[in-house]
Amino acid sequence: MGSRNVYLDNAATTPVDPRVLEAMLPYFREEFGNAASRSHKFGWVAEEAVEAARGHVAAVIGAESKEIIWTSGATESNNLAILGAARMYGDKGRHIITSLIEHKAVIDPCKFLQTQGFDVSFLQPNGQGRVSVEQVREAMREDTILVSLMFANNEIGTIHPIGEIGALCHERGILFHTDATQAFGKTPIDVEAMKIDLLSASAHKIYGPKGVGALYVRRKKPRVRLEPVIYGGGHERGMRSGTLNVPGIVGFGEAARIAREEMPQESKRLAALRDRLWAGLSEHLTDIARNGDPEHSLPNIVNISFLYVEGESLMMGFSDIAVSSGSACTSASLEPSYVLKNIGLGDELAHSSIRFSLGRFTTKEDIDYTVDLVVKSVNHLRAMSPLYEMALAGVDLSKVQWQHH
């Protein structure tokens, strides 16, 4: 097999689908109008395109188009949902429930709110990365105003019992926000059936452009109101001011339309490729472990620990395959993944883990090439791993006195 470039980091970002790019292009030059201009046809054309896109994004989650607020991305959506709800309903109560494995765009606004007199409960998921409805129920208090739990985790792909948690929140009159950045357009979501009040999504995870996101804000039963984070011209029902990014929004709309249309077949295709990857690796390698919950998982993410091998050095072995590692060495922080640590993986396994995230343009050949190269790299590194040598000699690594630095 010759060298090829394989992109298996689709949970980080995706390339823009050519159909999406085609849809966007006219809105850069010919139809460049400001969607807020009501007095001429440049504005009307732009507004019409924005509204069509709103409909496509809403359709993915069973919402009404009026319930979609455009943002600059899921980070902004999460900030607006959490800070906006806290500022709007803070006089009703000052307790928020979230989890330890949320994206930083949820954790950090919650931590900020802790400095503003709010009390935040960070729930610990189980070993597969799932928070249960019982845990949420136990954490609820009289003064709880918001529950924010991600739909699916970005590192391990585990899907939370969102419908059950949504029903519980509605029963208690507590707002329910879900960060659906990874799940949107990949797995079925219905804000009505799942009783979701606020939902964050991003275009660039579904073959749309970067810099565009959406926040679903429920309009009835209950009507959710948010204090804005960005003030100005009162765009987006006053919740998010700023001239709309019309080409980006058109791209998001088209990406959402395609994702919704293709989801039934595409999710099956991705799950089959993901299973092929896992089966291929398990066939040729011992001492590997799949992290997450295979029963409740996105079809495109698989996270694997390769025992006795460090993640960054493993990635070096297949530099033409793009993946992510839970190892500290890939980040500036020198701390291994907090998500893997918080599902109880232990630092040494977190250092040995790789996330493979498949996408629309991943082929069977890509997977076979990946299996081949990963197997070679793991064997190359195990041959020089003192841990592997000790394990083969029957040493219990957990009982060794290591010399910590």
Which positions touch other proteins (CB under 8 A)?
308-310, 312-313, 316-317, 327-330, 332, 334, 336, 346-348, 351, 383-389, 397, 402-405
Q: Which residue has the tokens 């993901």?
A: 274
How far, in whole angstroms, is CA 78 from its chain's centroid? 11
- Among residues 135 and 337, whose Cβ is nearest to other proteins? 337
List Cβ neighbours of 272 (8 Å cut-off, separation of 6 or more). Answer: none
Closest distance to other proteins from the beta carbon of 34 (Å): 42
Q: Tokens at residue 308, please?
A: 């006795």
Q: Cα(80)–Cα(235) distance, rounded to whole angstroms?
A: 14
Which of the 8 DSSP states describes residue 256? Answer: H
Closest distance to other proteins from the beta carbon of 320 (Å): 13
Cα-Cα end-to-end distance for the chain? 41
Closest distance to other proteins from the beta carbon of 4 (Å): 19
Q: Cα(162)–Cα(191) distance, rounded to whole angstroms?
A: 10
Q: Pick the closest to residue 95 from 86, 108, 107, 105 (CA basis).
A: 86
Q: Which residues are catalytic, by number?
A: 329
Q: Cα(376)–Cα(165) distance, rounded to whole angstroms?
A: 43
Closest distance to other proteins from the beta carbon of 336 (Å): 7
Q: Which residue has the tokens 């041959």?
A: 383
Q: Tokens at residue 295, please?
A: 């029963």
CA-CA-CA-CA dihedral for 65, 46, 24, 201, to nearest 10: -30
Amino acid at 195: K
- Among residues 271 and 387, whose Cβ is nearest to other proteins? 387
Q: Are strands 95-99 and 144-148 parallel, antiparallel or unpaired?
A: parallel
- Among residues 78 and 305, whose Cβ is nearest to other proteins? 305
Q: Pick the closest to residue 255 from 43, 9, 57, 37 (CA basis).
A: 57
- Among residues 116 and 331, whose Cβ is nearest to other proteins? 331
- Among residues 115 and 403, whose Cβ is nearest to other proteins? 403
Q: Pick the closest to residue 214 from 98, 66, 319 (CA basis).
A: 66
Closest distance to other proteins from the beta carbon of 128 (Å): 22
Rounded to whole angstroms, what are the CA distances from 35 to 20, 74, 242, 405? 20, 22, 11, 57
Q: Cα(58)–Cα(72) distance, rounded to whole angstroms?
A: 17
Q: Phi and psi of 271, rounded to 5°?
A: -65, -40
- Among residues 140 and 397, whose Cβ is nearest to other proteins? 397
Closest distance to other proteins from the beta carbon of 136 (Å): 31
Q: Phi and psi of 325, rounded to 5°?
A: -120, 150
Contact present, 90 and 225 (Cβ < 8 Å): no
- Among residues 220 and 405, whose Cβ is nearest to other proteins? 405
Closest distance to other proteins from the beta carbon of 317 (Å): 8
- Among residues 176 and 388, whose Cβ is nearest to other proteins? 388
Closest distance to other proteins from the beta carbon of 327 (Å): 6
Q: Which residue has the tokens 């799940």?
A: 183
Rounded to whole angstroms, what are the CA distances from 154 to 109, 151, 157, 175? 18, 9, 6, 23
